[in-house]
Amino acid sequence: TPRMLVPALLVLLFCFRGRAGMSPHFLQQPEDLVVLLGEEARLPCALGAYGGLVQWTKDGLALGGERDLPGWSRYWISGNAASGHHDLHIRPVELEDEAWYECQATQAGLRSRPAQLHILVPPEPPLVLGGPSVSLVAGVPANLTCRSRGDARPTPELLWFRDGIQLDGTTFHQTVPKEGTTGSMESTLSLTPSRRDDGATLVCRAQSQALPVGRDTAITLSLQYPPEVTLSAEPQTVQEGEKVTFLCQATAQPPVTGYRWAKGGSPVLGARGPMLEVLADASFLTEPVSCEVSNAVGSANRSTALDVLFGPILQAKPEPVSVDVGGDASFSCAWRGNPPPRVTWTRRGGSQVLGSGPALRLPSVGPEDAGDYVCRAAPGLPGLGGGAAEARLTVNAPPVVTALHSAPAFLSGPARLQCLVFASPAPEAVVWSWDEGFLAAGSQGRFLVETFPAPEGRGGQSPGLISVLHISGTQESDFSRGFNCSARNRLGEGGTRVSLGRRDLLPTVRIVAGVAAAAMTLLMVITGVTLCCWCYGKASGSFSEQKNMVRIPGSSDGSSSRAPEQEETGSHEDQGPMVLTDHSDPVQDEEGALETKDPTNGYYKVRGVSVSLSLGEAPGGGLFLPPPSPLGPPGTPTFYDFNPHLGMVPPCRLYRAWAGYLTTPHPRAFTSYLKPTSFGPPDLAPGTPPFPYAAFPTPSHQRLQTHV
């Protein structure tokens, strides 16, 4: 029935849950274990609800299922198998037993967690190198080494003790173990023993987890020391030639084995004992006497110098100093003397004391501080002499440029400008500049630059440079403008302006030029007056006769010269002045005008002054006015009188003169076609007044200079 079925199901469910709770399982699993070498190790293992085969493995290798584990004489399994206890025992434990172990229920497929077995090996007593009695030297640093022995696990710690107190200053070093072996440990104690450490006992202790109390090794110090030397001289203060006794005393362990004397580092031959007698001389001032004492441990050396009175001796001379402007400069020198000398600093050439003592400091120096500084030593006692040493201070500053005297130059001639440059450090370049350009070296157009060292440098400065600017063919602008000479270094630049002076002509040349200018001015005035008269005559009359008219080529009304084409061909509108003669050979041109032929065909062209007469509307006769003759009397006008040969009467009593080209006016120049001596009296119109120049004499010179 349904009521009876429910209880039955509950009983079955209870029974099923009971069988599920009885499945194989571990009640206890092995744990990691640490044991000492030689002792017993026990690894527990307990199983529940399991009655099958149980076995142990070592690093994965099965040890077997029997309780006595055949083949493993030091291994066995203990406990009640029915109750599920299967403990593994190992006795005595050896180093090879250190491994990973597992407990396995093979039929149930159960494995415990791995358990590691650690084997501890207690350290052995350490070894102190050099023990049990270690010999040390007083005052000499030494190292004591303590080394562990055996295969202690873990590696032991080595400690040093003296009188139960741990010592500091130890260092440790562990050697790298070979495969399958353990490494050794060393401890080094560093100390500097003294004489009171003789016979002291030191302990080196090795301790570890396997043996916390550790194991000790003791040593005894046997201290040795080299000689301790004292050296004295009697008397200590001497003069040259006096006898001096040196005494060398020493204490040592082990005892002294020998003495060695030296003077200035060189052995004193024949000196063997603790005493040395010498006669003092000048060499003992700088070469002290030394005594070296030796024993089995080592040697010691002491030296002493005699107290001798002497004057200053230079030991360290001052060195040259180079600083930038605004920086600080320092000098130092060292003098030796007995008594000590008094040291002062001055500037060379000056008497002012700048400082005293072995050092001199100059703050914020400027270019004016450059120069030589003297370190002077005065003796401590009169009569011992003195000494001095000097060093140069170089002040690095921007270049200082100075214009040098340059000679004046003629216009269009050569010129030379110079400047002097002082700079420290040396300038990168010296540059000349002017309005339209600049030049540092070489040539450019009319300009050439040369730079070379100056003969001497200023005190405290590097040698100067002279830069020269050459100008070929000076121009007017060169005298009015300025030339700049500039230089630059890393500290800045400097420059100066140099002007070119002009050299005037000699006084005689100036006088001649003045006279020539005055003459030209006078000629211009005469020309102007003559033009006025000519214009007046042209407006009031005309030529009455046109025969025997001679043209003077190259002269016209409005200009001082005519082009060559116009001179050769001529024109109707512009013809040269005409002179009436009996020997002319007139030729009529196409328009009927009379024209006199030039027998030289224009070969002779003489620049001079023409004097024309205004004769009515047509051009008047031409007249040449030569320069004053150097042979005639002073003040005598030098005119050619053509009045008797002209068949016209000028309406004006004035001359007109202007510059122009005329056919040679001298009578000898007309010999081929003009004969002045055959002229008769001129034909004057009735009522015409005579020429005002009719009384002028004939020129006295008979030659005419011409330009061919």
The pLDDT assigned to 212 comes to: 84
Contact between 425 and 415 under an 8 Å Cβ cutoff? The reply is no
How many whole angstroms separate alpha carbon 557 and alpha carbon 560? 8
Residues, the chain, total?
A: 708
Tokens found for residue 475: 């121009």
Q: Tell me which of 323 and 593 has the higher pLDDT.
A: 323
In tens, the pLDDT along 144-153 reads 999 888 778 8
556-570 as b/e, with b when 16 or more CB fall inside 10 Å?
bbeeeebeeebbeeb
The pLDDT assigned to 485 comes to: 95
pLDDT value at 260 more than 90: yes
How many whole angstroms separate alpha carbon 645 and alpha carbon 691? 12
Q: Tell me which of 11 and 527 has the higher pLDDT.
A: 527
Beta strands in 157-263 (DSSP E): 157-162, 165-166, 170-174, 185-191, 201-207, 215-234, 237-238, 243-253, 256-263
In tens, the pLDDT along 206-221 reads 888 888 888 899 999 9
Q: Mapped to the 3 state alphabet, what secondary structure does 238-264 carry?
A: ECCCCEEEEEEEEEEECCEEEEEEEEC
Q: Pairing relation of β-strands 215-234 and 243-253?
A: antiparallel
Does this model's pTM top 0.75? no
Domains annotated for the chain, with CATH where assigned, are: 25-120 (2.60.40.10), 123-305 (2.60.40.10), 312-395 (2.60.40.10), 405-499 (2.60.40.10)
The pLDDT assigned to 477 comes to: 87
What mean pLDDT do residues 121-141 have? 88
**Bridge partners (DSSP) listed for residue 346:** 353, 374
pLDDT value at 176 more than 70: no
The pLDDT assigned to 46 comes to: 92
The pLDDT assigned to 432 comes to: 93
Give the residue from 270, 155, 249, 253 showing the smallest Cα distance to 211: 155
pLDDT value at 6 more than 60: no
What mean pLDDT do residues 591-613 have? 39
Q: Tell me which of 238 and 657 has the higher pLDDT.
A: 238
Whose tokens are 């003969």? That residue is 455
The pLDDT assigned to 669 comes to: 37
| Signed CA dihedral, 419, 423, 429, 435: sign only | negative
What mean pLDDT do residues 547-570 have? 38
Burial of 21: CB neighbours in 10 Å, binned 0-12, 13-18, 19+: exposed
The pLDDT assigned to 204 comes to: 92
The pLDDT assigned to 513 comes to: 74
∠ at Cα 165 (162, 167), nearest 5°?
A: 70
The pLDDT assigned to 567 comes to: 37
Identity of the residue numbered 279: L
Residue 530 has φ and ψ, to the nearest 5°, of -60, -40
In tens, the pLDDT along 498-525 reads 999 888 766 556 677 788 888 999 999 9
The pLDDT assigned to 580 comes to: 36
What mean pLDDT do residues 338-360 have? 90
Distances (CA, A) of 392 to 157, 329, 343, 684: 67, 11, 18, 104
At 521, which helix (H) or strand (E)?
A: helix 507-540
Q: Name 315's Cβ contacts closer than 8 Å, sequence gap at least 6.
A: 334, 335, 336
Contact between 221 and 137 under an 8 Å Cβ cutoff? The reply is no
In tens, the pLDDT along 426-443 reads 888 899 999 888 888 888
pLDDT confidence band for 182 (50 / 70 / 90): low
Could you count the other beta carbons within 10 Å of the beta carbon of residue 478? 20
Beta strands in 334-384 (DSSP E): 334-338, 342-347, 353-356, 359-362, 371-378
pLDDT confidence band for 83 (50 / 70 / 90): confident
The pLDDT assigned to 418 comes to: 93
The torsion region of residue 514 among left (phi > 0), alpha (psi -120 to 50) and beta comes to: alpha
pLDDT value at 603 more than 90: no
pLDDT confidence band for 545 (50 / 70 / 90): very low
Percent of the chain residues past pLDDT 90, beyond the cut:
27
Q: Tell me which of 447 and 7 has the higher pLDDT.
A: 447
State the chain's mean pLDDT as an integer. Answer: 74
In eight-state DSSP terms, residue 175 is P
The torsion region of residue 510 among left (phi > 0), alpha (psi -120 to 50) and beta comes to: alpha
Whose tokens are 């190790």? That residue is 41
pLDDT value at 319 more than 90: yes
Integer-rounded Cα Rg, in Å, for the chain is 68
The pLDDT assigned to 541 comes to: 52
pLDDT confidence band for 598 (50 / 70 / 90): very low
pLDDT value at 232 more than 90: yes
